[in-house]
Structure 1
Amino acid sequence: MTAAPVEVLNPDGTGRVVILCEHASRRIPQHYGDLGLKPSDRDSHAAWDPGARDLALALSRALDAPVVAATVSRLVYDCNRPPDAASAMPTKSELIQVPGNADLTQSDRDARTRAVYDPFCVAVNSVLDARGPDTIVVTVHSFTPTYFGQPRAVELGLLHDTDSRLVDTMLAHADRIPQRHVARNEPYGPADGVTHSLCLHALSRGLANVMLEVRNDLLRTPDEIADRAQEILMLLEPALTDIAVREDQT
């Protein structure tokens, strides 16, 4: 039996937040082979966001939030990229070559889009279409502490595109977690193409949103993941209250 390319967890959650996790899995479906990757590459950050799915589930439990998560490696298709982007099916990720993506025809790309990206978008749309205009979209990611040999000091990135309402308010509460290096639009930002899901699923509906990027060396154990979830909640929960108050006043 072929596994579905997307899973919806806690679909009946009644909280205000909907969580997306585009890079939740390193699974490469059998019919794609191994994409020419070494086993270590298939387990690396290039293939998925380590700790992101577990962090998304921890936040889901705290917020009673539905989670829409991809179950296929982003090296097969990156659900945070549009079909026409080269990075949707990358031939290289940082220093890792992806031979299985090197000679894809347009037909191959279209087939992967239909198999992975389209079902993910359908699932997100189904969850969001059933909810109200006060819904908040949170996407959950992790990033590697060293990139092209350069260490990254940031530990928690709060990313946004043209709608910064939620990030502005979360950053206003950043002094609640002084032990963390929190930054806006780091280690990536809109110019890197990483806000595709925010634009497609949240901005298009006028929903406040944030993309969380957590350094993955802080997500190695269940205890660390639980601690990171609590730190994020210390910023997110008061931000949700602040936004609700402002909306009531308008």
Structure 2
Amino acid sequence: MDTDATGALSQLLGEGEAHPVHEVNTAGQSPFLLTSDHYGRILPRALDDLGVAGSELTRHVAWDIGIAGVADRLAEMLDAHLIAQRYSRLVIDCNRPPAAVSSIPLISEATAIPGNEGITEQQRTARRREIFEPYHGRIEAAIDRRLHDKQPTVLVSLHSFTPVYAGVARPWHIGALYNRDTVLPQLLLRHLRAEGDLVVGDNEPYAVNDLTDYTIPVHGEARGLVNTGIEIRQDLIADQSGQQQWAERLARIFAEIEVELRAARPVD
């Protein structure tokens, strides 16, 4: 790794390490542009294990369990472009403003992250430059191209959540998340509730806001795109069968929503 004059790490990712951006179906014709901020849990070699036990690195503190399998399948089923991020949220959280304390967390839930203690500004900058910025730059470029080509664009940010948090069980199977724009979330909520077998969260278990979120405020709201966040409970998508079932369900629902959006208003 390269270091600066003070000995601080100025380059994070070494030769042969994975590019932060994972994409599926870049030429997809669906109006839905899918993103997944917490798709992967890779740690750069230079950071070793961040001082975190291996058992912790498979938990939600490191990534959104199950969402990768759902996202990849959903992109193919919808003929949608997926842009996802391969590195663990413990290195840098790609759904947090870079200035937020939780961008490079010292503690996640109850898990301490020793490798994030006392890092220099140069090391912070390297994480932003080599992981955060390529990911969000790719989303921005994809939106720019779609708008230039007059391709209808609806942003859907895919996440998963833990069945239990701080000792409290979460009853929702899936939630629609939003802030200023309620067009797509309300359609999604209606379709999900019509399924008849789901407990559906309306801005649960989280709500979007400018201080704690990045993808929807910056790429959705600031660009004037119809948008929503989706949270799926992790025990429902922990294996390939669950991932396939949820991808199929969401593909069917989004196909129906696309018809409604096109009938009601232009989706570009």
Match of residue 162 from structure 2 = 144
Given candidates 238, 241, 244, the residue that maps to 2:259 is: 241
TM-score, normalization by structure 1: 0.94
Whole-angstrom distance in 1 between the partners of 2:140 and 2:223: 10
Whole-angstrom distance in 2 between the partners of 1:77 and 1:173: 34
3-state SS in 2 of match to 1:205? coil
Amino acid at match of 1:49: D
Identity over the aligned pairs, expressed in percent? 33
Offset at residue 44 of structure 1 (A): 1.0
Whole-angstrom distance in 2 between the partners of 1:248 and 1:202: 16
Whole-angstrom distance in 2 between the partners of 1:121 and 1:192: 16
Match of residue 232 from structure 2 = 214
Offset at residue 193 of structure 1 (A): 4.6
Whole-angstrom distance in 2 between the partners of 1:89 and 1:195: 14
Deviates most, 192-201 or 165-174: 192-201
3-state SS in 2 of match to 1:34? coil
Offset at residue 173 of structure 1 (A): 1.9
Match of residue 125 from structure 1 = 140
Offset at residue 107 of structure 1 (A): 2.3
The structure with the larger Rg is: 2
Match of residue 73 from structure 1 = 88
Q: Is the 8 A contact 1:139 1:210 kept in 2?
A: yes
CA displacement 1:66-110 (0-9 Å, x = unmatched) = 111111100001111111011111111111111111212222211
CA displacement 1:129-177 (0-9 Å, x = unmatched) = 1113630111111111011111111110100110111001111223332
Whole-angstrom distance in 2 between the partners of 1:78 and 1:140: 14
Given candidates 108, 114, 137, the residue that maps to 1:93 is: 108
Query: Superposition pairs for residues 187-206 of structure 1, below 5 Å?
Result: 187-191=205-209, 193-206=211-224
TM-score, normalization by structure 2: 0.88
Given candidates 244, 248, 251, the residue that maps to 1:230 is: 248
Q: Is the 8 A contact 1:8 1:123 kept in 2?
A: no
Q: Answer 1 or 2: which has greater helix percent.
A: 1
Match of residue 71 from structure 2 = 56
3-state SS in 2 of match to 1:223? helix
C-alpha RMSD of matched pairs (Å): 1.7
Offset at residue 248 of structure 1 (A): 5.0
Change (3 A) 1:213 1:248: closer
Q: Is the 8 A contact 2:56 2:62 kept in 1?
A: yes
- Structure 2 residues not aligned, in runs of 5+: 1-15
User: Which stretches of structure 1, 4 residues or more, deviate above 6 A after TM superposition?
Assistant: none
Match of residue 107 from structure 1 = 122
Deviates most, 206-215 or 101-110: 101-110
CA displacement 1:108-136 (0-9 Å, x = unmatched) = 21121111100001111121111136301
Offset at residue 194 of structure 1 (A): 4.8
Match of residue 49 from structure 2 = 34
- Structure 1 residues not aligned, in runs of 5+: none
Amino acid at match of 2:231: E
CA displacement 1:4-56 (0-9 Å, x = unmatched) = 11122211111111110110111101011110000001111100011111101
Deviates most, 100-109 or 215-224: 100-109
Give the total of aligned pairs: 249
Q: Is the 8 A contact 1:91 1:102 kept in 2?
A: yes
Match of residue 178 from structure 2 = 160
3-state SS in 2 of match to 1:240? helix
Change (3 A) 1:243 1:194: farther
